[in-house]
Structure 1
Amino acid sequence: MSHEDVSGLSDDDWQTLLDPAELDAVVFALQPAIATGATRRALQRGIHVLSELPGGETVEDIVNLREAERDSGAILKFGCGLRHHGNVRAAQTVIEENNYGRLLTARAVYGHAGPPNGQFANTSILKGHGIHMLDLLHLFCGPFETVKALSSGMAGGDENVFALLRTADGAIAELHSSSTSWRQTFRLELGFERGYVWLDGHLPGLEGYGPEMLIHARLSHNNRGEPDPNPDETVTEFDSHSSAEEELAEFLDAIAGRAPLRRGNSHQAFDAINIAERICAACETWA
Structure 2
Amino acid sequence: MSQRNYRAAIIGTGGIAHAHAQALLGSGRASLVAVADVDAGRASAFAAKYGVPRSHASAEELLREEEPDFVHLCTPPQLHAPLAIACLEAGVTALVEKPPTLSLAEFDALIEAERRSTAHVATVLQHRFGAGAIRLRRLADAGDLGRPLLATCDTQWFRDEDYYAVPWRGTWESEGGGPTMGHGIHQFDLLFSVLGPWREVTAVAARQARSVNTEDVSMALVTFENGAVATVVNSVVSPRQTSQLRFDYEHATVELEHLYGYTDDDWTVTPAPGHEDVTSLWGQGHTSESSGHRGWLAAVLDALDQGQAPPVTVEDARRTMEFIAALYASAFTGERVRAGQITADSPFAQRMDGTGTPWEKVRNP
Query: Which amino acid counterpart does residue 147 of structure 1 have in structure 2?
Result: V
Structure 1 partner of 2:27? none
Alpha-carbon contact 1:31-1:119 (below 8 Å) kept:
no
Query: 1:101 touches 1:193 (CA, 8 Å); kept in 2?
Result: yes
TM superposition score normalised by structure 2 = 0.65
Provide Cα deviations, 1:211-259, integer angstroms capped at 9, x if missing partner: 95111232106xxxxx9xx999678786542631222233233334x26
CA deviation after TM superposition for structure 1 residue 78, in Å = 1.2
Matching of residue 31 in structure 1 with residue 50 in structure 2: no
CA distance in 1, matches of 2:358, 2:224: 27
Q: Whole-Å Cα distance in 2 between the matches of residues 95 and 267 of structure 1?
A: 21
One-letter code of the match for 1:83?
R
Does 2:187 correspond to 1:139?
no
SS at match of 2:266: strand
Are 1:198 and 1:215, in contact at CA under 8 Å, matched by a contact in 2? Answer: yes
2:111 is aligned with what amino acid? Answer: R
Cα 1:148–1:129 change in 2 (3 A) is: same
1:14-163 pair list within 5 angstroms = 14-19=59-64, 22-97=67-142, 99-114=144-159, 121-122=169-170, 123=175, 124-154=178-208, 155-157=210-212, 159-163=216-220
SS of the residue 2:181 aligns to: coil
Measured in 2, the distance between the counterparts of 1:232 and 1:95 equals 11
In structure 2, the partner of 1:179 is 236
Distance in 1 between residues matched to 2:265 and 2:88, nearest whole Å: 36
Q: For residue 321 of structure 2, what is the aligned residue in structure 1?
A: 273
Taking the aligned partners of 2:264 and 2:167, their CA distance within structure 1 comes to: 25
Q: Is residue 2:269 matched to residue 1:216?
A: yes
AA aligned to 1:220 is P
* 1:24-69 Cα shifts (integer Å, max 9, x gaps): 2211112221110000011011011111122101111111111111
RMSD: 3.3
Name the CA distance, whole Å, in 2 between partners of 1:120 and 1:133. Answer: 23
- Rate the CA distance shift 1:240–1:142 in 2: closer, same or farther, 3 A: closer
Q: 1:62 to 1:282 in 2, by over 3 A?
A: same
Q: 1:143–1:201: structure 2 CA closer, same or farther, 3 Å change rule?
A: same
Higher strand share: 1
Paired letter, 2:254: V
Corresponding residue for residue 249 of structure 1: 298
> What CA distance in whole angstroms lies between the structure 1 residues aligned with 2:119 and 2:310?
16
SS of residue matched to 1:23: coil
Q: Tell me: CA distance 1:41–1:171, structure 2 relative to 1, closer, same or farther (3 Å).
A: same
TM-aligned CA distance change 1:23 to 1:100, over 3 Å: closer
Deviation at 1:95, TM superposition (A): 2.6
**Identity across the alignment (%):** 21
1:136 is paired with a residue of what secondary structure?
Answer: helix
Q: Partners of 1:165 and 1:250 in 2: how far apart?
A: 29
How much does 1:179 deviate?
0.6
- The one-letter code of the counterpart of 2:103 is T
Separation (CA, whole Å) in 2 of partners of 1:286 and 1:21: 47
